[in-house]
Structures are given as structure tokens and as C-alpha cells.
Chains A and B, each alone.
Chain A
Amino acid sequence: DIQMTQSSSSFSVSLGDRVTITCKASEDIYNRLAWYQQKPGNAPRLLISGATSLETGVPSRFSGSGSGKDYTLSITSLQTEDVATYYCQQYWSTPLTFGAGTKLELK
């Protein structure tokens, strides 16, 4: 199974910050990576697929990058509504696997 590691389980942020969340796969996943946002009490929401492709309706302050084993989700100028937990997911092989999540908390 491919293990997905998100280096930070949580970190404190301020409104307007640029935030970078990292995700590392245990092997090359050839950009087969998606990012999801989950707010408390809600289902996850797809933000990015193919490591860099922003879903329709997702604000342009979100972006994804990376290749091979290493991927990042960036948020420029963090807004209140971006405070959430973010998960990466690989779909290079089954079983489909997620990172443990990175929770953003306001300082």
C-alpha cells in the first residue's frame, strides 16, 4: 500500500498568511494526487486533482504543485473560510489512501 504522509497534523495561522501544506508519498505516484478540504461537521470537498488542476468553483488563492513523491497545497492570503482540515489522497494504485490531514487553526 502507498503511505501518504502529511508532515504537520496542525498549525496556527493568521488571516492573510500564505500557507503551504505538504504531502509525501511512500513511492512515486506520478501526479495522481488530489486535495480535499473538510470543515467541522461537513463532508470533504474536492479542491484539486492531478496534483495541480483546480476544481470549478474553488478560489484561485488555492494551488497545488509537486511531482514524484512530494506535493504541496498552497493558499495565498488565508481567509476565514479556509480554516479547515486538508487531506491529500493518492490514486495511483489501490487501495486508495489518504494522508492523516493537516488542520489549520487561527492564532
Chain B
Amino acid sequence: DVQLVESGGGLVQPGGSRKLSCAASGFTFSSFGMHWVRQAPEKGLEWVAYISSGSSTIYYADTVKGRFTISRDNPKNTLFLQMTSLRSEDTAMYYCAIDASAWFAYWGQGTLVTVSA
């Protein structure tokens, strides 16, 4: 079965940094592009970033460009999101998701990041 397990969330001070991970199993990770999507508490979904299977293509939402970095380690079947200069508006559940030609075929259960003093 496909599994995506996010980790690394927690309480972070404004201006701080955090690195999220997404451990993948049950599919050939190196063959698929991957996304991060977030959801602020009681709010809707916001796409954050995309990385292609071989890391050659990367896109970011304008709201995180220059502050967040998406990366992946294919031999370790792991996706990352390095977040810096965090703001209160970055508080959200962060989901990793498998790309299927730019829609989201399968989602992990998410990891919660709270940015607060």
C-alpha cells in the first residue's frame, strides 16, 4: 500500500526555521514528482511547492518563494521541505502528496507547524 508519513512539525518562533520530512513507501518514489500542500487551521488548501522525480524542476507558491526549499533523497525515499523566516501565517498542517500530472493523487496525513512566540 502507498504510504506517505510526514514528520518534523511543531512549535516554532516567528523568524525561525523548521525542516519537514515525508517518508514514502509502497510505490517507486523516484519515478514520481511530489508536492507539499498546506492547510491553515479551519481554512482551505494551499499548494506550496513541487519537485520533479529527478529534482530538475521545482516550483514554489509566491507566498513561500525565497523562504522555503523543497528537496528529495530518492535512495532514501524521502521528501523534504526546509522552511526559514517563518511567519504566523505559515501556521498550518503540511501535507506531502504524490503528483499525477499536476493533481494530487495521494496524500499523507500531515504534520502540524505552529508559528508563535
Instruction: Let me know if B61 is at the binding interface, CB within 8 A.
Output: yes
Chain B residues with CB under 8 Å of A69's CB are none
Instruction: Let me know if A101 is at the binding interface, CB within 8 A.
Output: yes
List the count of A-B residue pairs having beta carbons below 8 Å apart.
51
Q: How far is the CB of B84 from chain A (nearest CB, A)?
A: 20
Chain A interface mostly helix, strand, loop or mixed?
loop
- Cross-chain contact A43 with B95 (CB below 8 angstroms): yes
- In the complex, A94→B35 CA distance in Å? 12
- In the complex, A34→B29 CA distance in Å? 22
Chain A residues with CB under 8 Å of B35's CB are 96
Chain B positions 79 through 113: 1 when the CB is less than 8 Å from some CB of chain A, otherwise 0: 00000000000000001000011111111111000
Instruction: Give residues in B with beta carbon < 8 Å to A.
Output: 35, 44-47, 50, 59, 61-62, 95, 100-110
9 tightest CB-CB pairs across the interface, nearest first? Answer: A91-B102, A34-B103, A43-B107, A96-B47, A98-B45, A100-B44, A101-B44, A49-B103, A91-B103
